[in-house]
Structure 1
Amino acid sequence: MITSRGIAVSPGIAIAEAVVLEPDASRVRKRLVAPAEVDRELQRFESALSASAEEVRALSVTTAETLGPELAKIFAFHAGMLADEHLLGQVRHSVRNDRVTADYAVYAVLSRLASTFSGHRDPYFRERVTDIQDLQRRILGKLHRPLDLGLAAITGPCILVARDLTPSQTATLDTAKVKGLVTDYGGRTSHTAILAHALGIPAIVGLEHATRDVNTGDTLVVDGKRGVLIVDPDAPELLAYREENDRDADREQKRGKLRDVQAVTRDGTPIELLANIEFASEIPGALDNGAEGVGLFRTEFLYLAAAEEPTEEGQLKGYRDAIRHLAGRPLTIRTLDLGADKLSGLAGVGEDDHERNPFLGCRSIRLSLQNLPMFKRQLRAILRASAEGPVRIMFPLISGVMELRQAKMVLNDVIEDLDDEGIAFDRSVEVGMMIEVPSVAIQARCFAEEVDFFSIGTNDLVQYTLAVDRCNERVAPLYSACHPAVLMLLKEVIRAADRTGIPVSLCGEMAGQPEYVMLLLGLGLRRFSMTPPAIPEVKQVLRAVSIEQCRRVAGKASRFDSDREVLNFVRDELSRVLPEVYSGRA
């Protein structure tokens, strides 16, 4: 049994035999052509280019119909490259001046570009290499050199293992056959990862050596929740995962019953359950799971899915779509939460600034405040959308009071501009902030006087409090949301919000984990925001407990010295409340 850990990009558990896709070893040979054949080669290229562009347009339409218009924007990068005269000019120049075949010119120019992108220090560029390879494969296919990775040969349920997949390949996967996806390369924001998540395929990327360690026919377990791949699991491990899969399936069947059941504790305390989303198209599914609104609309993919900074009108459309789907339910939009390391090539931001530690550098609200035109465009789009439904604005990664006040001043400037232009917006739009930095959690009372609401982002709060990068396999076990220091900060933030009379929610992964429900309720939390599939499970737990019972759990948990003691305790309490559900695998 081999166990390895990668980057979890799409939740769920898949158990099936592996199909390992061999890397595309096809290399186009350099072949010279006679001067009289140059025009014919150029015509072949133009025809292949036209056919490829039409195919990308069709794929974009299909993706929009099946996965939503936001995901279809991924292929705007492909369309842009197919219309890039500088890039196409290199191919034409190679055919004319070097007198090579159109096939070789396409292969050489795009291979060179892919190599340049792969060596770029910016992760955004490195993650676009598969897009370039996708286009290369597509154009060469139109030049009668099909480069098939064997996807068409898949006949039954399997887990796909590959060095990487292109966005086109991922978008067209047959989910009836492909039950899981594992790749050597890729990151959280790669287009392949985004599409796998949208398709609902459990997926792990960035495993580095999966294609080396796995053979076609091996039994695999893909744990998309924890980022764990198990090759040829032993009998106890396989049984445990099958039982967990069965429990997940049972919970899925109960969703319909829980959707319209009120989120209220056993003693009658109402709890608000909201959804975290990336795309407006996710909202119908979130409502099906029982979401009462959106507590976190991550706007980053509006930027990452495009080849350039999205326009004000483009952003406005995305926000309006979300408002229409929600039909009067609340929508909380978080302003851009990316670093300069992700946007340098996209928006002309920080192109010459190399940051050794981007997580402690120019990102989130810091990046927005240093790029005011971009920040104002987003705020204008959010405010204009607020005229059509309830919208709240949330600033990420605030670390000091002056930073928050500066962000509010920029917002007020935008409000004045809209007033001067006679553009409608909701004047009562609420303004809140994320609690993600220990300095803010410690000063929570001060910040509560400045905003309309808090939202605790435990993912970053834990990371910054414990000085642990949860994506670093060597220290990931030290990352723990139930560390006593983290619990102290949570308690302080919730208490400060209650004393000031502003609502507080928790939108980190902790909110969607059943073992923490009683603990968080006991600390005073009454608003949870989570990934939509987690809502029914959290609702099931909170309906089985009383607030007094939860206060006792939180009180005892607060007296433990280690995160392991806390975790074992809350899991034991959960198994006592719902033994028929939580007496198995932790």
Structure 2
Amino acid sequence: MEVRGGIAVTPAITVGKAFILDREQPRVTQQFIRQDKKTVESEKTRYLKAQSKAIKELKKIEKQTADTKDISIIFCGHRLILEESQQEILYTIENNFFKAEYAVHHLMQSYQQNLSSRRGELYSRRISDLKDIENRLLKHLTSHKNISYKSLRKPVVIVAKELTPSQTALLPLNKIVGIITNSGGQTSHTAIVARTRGINAIVGIGEETNNIFTGDTVILDGFTGKVVIRPTKKTIDKYKKQQQQQKIKTTSLQKIKQLRSETKDQHSISLLANIENPFEVKTALSQSAEGVGLYRTEFIYVDHNHPDEETHYNAYASAARKLGNRSIVVRTLDLGADKDFGLFRTVEDNPFLGCRSLRLCFKHENVFRTQLRAILRASVHGNVAIMFPMVSSVEDIKKALDILSQVKEELHSQNIHFAPRIPIGIMIEIPSAAITCDLFVDYVDFFCIGTNDLVQYTLAVDRCNENVANYYKFAHPAIFRLIQHVIQVGNKHGVRVSICGEISKEMIIVLIGMGLKEFSLSPYSILEVKKMIRAITLQQTQKIAKRVLGLVHHDDVIRYLRKKIKNIEKEYD
């Protein structure tokens, strides 16, 4: 038995037999054609016929996936690249006398080489897309055939060095129960397609796929990212038991989808979703999210190196329309530090304390203005709010509001419509902002406490540094006191307070007891948190919060909360 780690894509447990996918990519060698007009025109025609077939295929996939926009848009992009590269390939055939196959391979390889020297998920995704496009064209230029799954008698787990988005989109769901790949990330196009189609996938496990053979039993743990190869019977039984428990839990949670998010004594608690792109709205709503409390707009840069105003606008407008009258809080770009994407090439000794987020937006004001224009334009399509991250002083918010005001005037002079009243909020994630939050109440409509950075900056712990991971403690008395102060100020001045970040359900109970009524969570956490909220009274949460605020040590808090949660879970299980 071997256990390997990768990147989990879908929260699920899968036990199945491996099927090694040999892609048998067409081998392309350097080939030339005769240098006469008739041969050149014939080769160009051969390429155009192959391109036409490839585009026809892509349009068919777009049509088949039209109700799942996050898949459809990927293949729309492939089609556009095919169309835009046509002239360059024809030029290569005509002037370099390359055979069509080699012209395609040469161009796509040059694109990939330019991208391979750059780091980041954006470039990995584009390389994968280019490989997919090349394979599609070569298939029609050669006698290469599609992989057939018809001979499979039982559902299998596909194991491959990599899967293209096309291959993933066309996998027969009655034959495939999981995917394991060498490469890929959680936001790669292949991962997005797998997640959307409900296929359990572990990606990025490296060369470890070489240790898996067709017929081997494999276990995919979509909660931890573990792949268990040739497990023992005891391990299989353990995971099958977890699988069954997860099914029962999922069925149980489905029953409360339509129920209100409220305590046993009917105090409403709003549960919203954190999203990174408009396609996740569908998932959020399926998990009974009441809206979007945090739209992390910086992830638009994963798909687009330098998105223009229309790209921003289309993303925000799409999300707003899908939500209808539900609220959506659009956070302005939080780029820098761990979300650099290689865009501004700023090298700093300590990027978390450097030019990131709102500071970066002030430095690159043209980028900031472009985004603000797009958000304002999108505001006519729904209940949109704007939130500024990494605010450390009143000067920050005044400067941001001044730029926003100028952008509004520009749109007004151009007769471009936007909502007349757009709520404005700030992230409370720097201790200076938490301590002086009373100074912001005249400028904003809401506070959103960002727990991840608040813990990091308050306790002087780099949350990405494994050497100090044991110092990163949410249950530190300083964190609770800062949050309590923000809640009290918000309540006193009528400023709404919410929280977002990676929060455990134990901490949510404490925060409700401290007076917090709004949480923005991962979509997949919402139903479980709702179930817990419905099993407890407000008075119980207040007693728990009072006890926790009296404890000094982090470990004492955790032990106390786990005991309390265990008792609560007994009530609703």
- Same fold (TM > 0.5): yes
Q: Structure 1, residues 368-394: CA drift from partner, whole Å, max 9, x if none?
A: 333333322332232233334422111
**1:151 and 1:358 mapped to 2: Cα distance?**
48
Given the alignment, which residue of 288, 294, 297 partners 2:295?
297
Given that residues 575 and 581 in structure 1 are in contact (C-alpha distance below 8 angstroms), is that contact kept between their aligned partners in structure 2? no
User: Residue 517 of structure 1 corresponds to which residue in structure 2?
Assistant: 508
> 1:66 corresponds to which letter in structure 2?
D
Shift of 1:271: 0.9
> Measured at CA, do residues 210 and 363 of structure 1 come closer, stay the same or move farther in structure 2, by a change above 3 Å?
farther
Aligned residue number for residue 165 of structure 1: 163
Within 1, Cα distance between the matches of 2:109 and 2:567? 59
What's 1:21 paired with? Answer: 21
Alpha-carbon spacing, 1:504–1:215, altered in 2? closer, same or farther (3 Å): farther
Between the aligned partners of 2:407 and 2:313, the Cα distance in structure 1 is: 15
User: Is residue 121–residue 187 contact of structure 2 (8 Å, CA) maintained in 1?
Assistant: no
C-alpha spacing 1:136/1:389, structure 2 compared with 1 (3 Å)? closer
Q: Do the aligned partners of 2:253 and 2:531 also contact (CA within 8 Å) in 1?
A: no
- Give 2:461's aligned residue: 467
Amino acid at match of 1:273: L
CA distance in 2, matches of 1:238, 1:468: 38
Q: Percent identity?
A: 36
Whole-angstrom CA distance in 2 between matches of 1:477 and 1:581 = 32
Distance 2:233 2:512 in 1: 38
Distance 1:221 1:379, change over 3 A: same
Q: How far off is 1:467 after superposition?
A: 3.0
Alignment of 1:191-340 (within 5 A): 191-234=189-232, 237-306=235-304, 309-312=307-310, 314-339=311-336
SS at match of 2:215: coil
Q: 1:416 aligns with which of 406, 409, 425?
A: 409
Q: Secondary structure at 2:519's aligned position in 1? A: strand
Residues 408 and 162 of structure 1: CA distance in aligned 2, closer, same or farther (over 3 Å): farther
Q: Which residue of 2 aligns with 1:49?
A: 51
Question: Which shifted more, 126-135 or 558-567?
Answer: 558-567
Say whether the 8 Å CA contact 2:122–2:303 is kept in structure 1: no
CA distance 1:487–1:226, change in 2 (3 Å)? farther
Aligned pairs for 1:79-228 (under 5 A) are 79-85=79-85, 88-89=87-88, 91-92=89-90, 94-96=92-94, 98-146=96-144, 148=146, 156-228=154-226
* Partner residue of 1:396 out of 374, 389, 399: 389
How far apart are 1:143 and its partner, in Å?
Answer: 0.4
Q: How far apart in 2 are the matches of 1:112 and 1:264?
A: 57
The 3 A distance-change label for structure 1 pair 422 and 93 is: closer
3-state DSSP of counterpart to 1:411? helix
Deviation (angstroms), 1:187: 2.6
Give TM-score scaled by structure 2 length: 0.87
- Give the conservation status (yes or no) of the 8 Å contact 1:339–1:364: yes
Aligned partners of 2:412, 2:83: CA distance in 1, in Å?
A: 39
Aligned partner letter, 1:59: I
Contact 1:8 1:204 (8 Å CA) reproduced: yes
Q: Check conservation: 1:128, 1:190, Cα contact below 8 A.
A: no
User: What corresponds to 2:399 in structure 1?
Assistant: 406
Specify the SS of the correspondent of 1:398: coil
Task: After TM superposition, list the pairs within 5 Å mapping 1:349-388 onto structure 2.
Answer: 350=344, 353=346, 361-388=354-381
Query: Bigger CA drift: 230-239 or 452-461?
Result: 230-239
> Aligned with 1:259: secondary structure?
coil
Name the SS for the 1:127 alignment partner: helix
Q: Is the 8 A contact 2:178 2:199 kept in 1?
A: yes
Q: How far apart, CA to CA, are the structure 2 residues paired with 1:151 and 1:245?
A: 26
Q: Number of aligned pairs? A: 570
Q: Which moved more, 1:478-487 or 1:176-185?
A: 478-487
Does the 8 Å contact 2:331/2:389 carry over to 1? yes
CA gap of 1:245–1:366, structure 2 versus 1, over 3 A, is farther
Normalising by structure 1, what TM-score?
0.85
Partner residue, 2:73: 73
Counterpart of 2:60, as a letter, is A
Does the Cα contact within 8 Å between 2:19 and 2:214 map onto a contact in 1? yes
1:508 counterpart letter in structure 2: G
Cα offsets for 1:327-368 (capped at 9, x unmatched): 3222222223344997878xxx53x54567665555433343
The letter of the residue matching 1:576 is N
Task: State the alpha-carbon separation in 1 of the partners of residues 93 and 525 from structure 2.
Answer: 55
Between the aligned partners of 2:520 and 2:188, the Cα distance in structure 1 is: 25
Alignment map for 1:549-560 (pairs within 5 Å)? 549-558=540-549
Match of 1:11 in 2: 11
Report how far residue 131 of structure 1 moved: 0.9
- Render the CA deviation track for 1:134-176: whole Å, top value 9, x for unaligned: 1110110110242756767655333333222222222333334
In 2, are the aligned partners of 1:74 and 1:305 still within 8 Å (CA)? no
Cα RMSD (Å) of the superposition? 3.4
Over residues 484-524 of structure 1, what are the superposed CA-to-partner deviations in whole Å (9 max), with x where a residue is unaligned?
A: 554444344334433433111122231xx434332222233
Distance 1:500-1:322 versus aligned 2 partners, 3 A rule: same
- The answer for the alignment partner of 2:565 in structure 1 is 574
| 1:155 to 1:469, Cα distance in 2 relative to 1, 3 A | farther
Q: Aligned runs of 1:496-511 on 2, under 5 Å?
A: 496-510=489-503
Q: What's the CA shift for 1:132?
A: 1.1
Cα distance in 1 for partners of 2:456, 2:180 equals: 26
**Structure 1 residues 33 and 318, CA gap change in structure 2 (3 angstroms):** closer
1:16 partner SS: strand
Separation (CA, whole Å) in 1 of partners of 2:206 and 2:122: 18
Shift of 1:559: 5.2
- Aligned-partner Cα distance in 2 for 1:566–1:179: 41
Deviation readout 1:459-502 (Å, 9 max, x if unpaired): 444455563445x7777677654455544443443344334331
Cα distance change, pair 237–320 in 1 and its aligned pair in 2 (3 A): same
Deviating more after overlay: 208-217 vs 406-415:
208-217
Distance 1:229 1:194, change over 3 A: same
Distance 1:357 1:10 in 2: 33
User: Is residue 32–residue 99 contact of structure 1 (8 Å, CA) maintained in 2?
Assistant: yes
Write the letter of the residue equivalent to 2:433. V
Question: Displacement, 1:545?
Answer: 1.0
Corresponding residue SS for 1:434:
strand
Q: Which residue of 1 aligns with 2:522?
A: 531
Amino acid at match of 1:328: N
Q: 2:427 aligns with which of 430, 434, 447?
A: 434
Give the distance between the partners of 2:203 and 2:542, measured in 1 at CA: 40
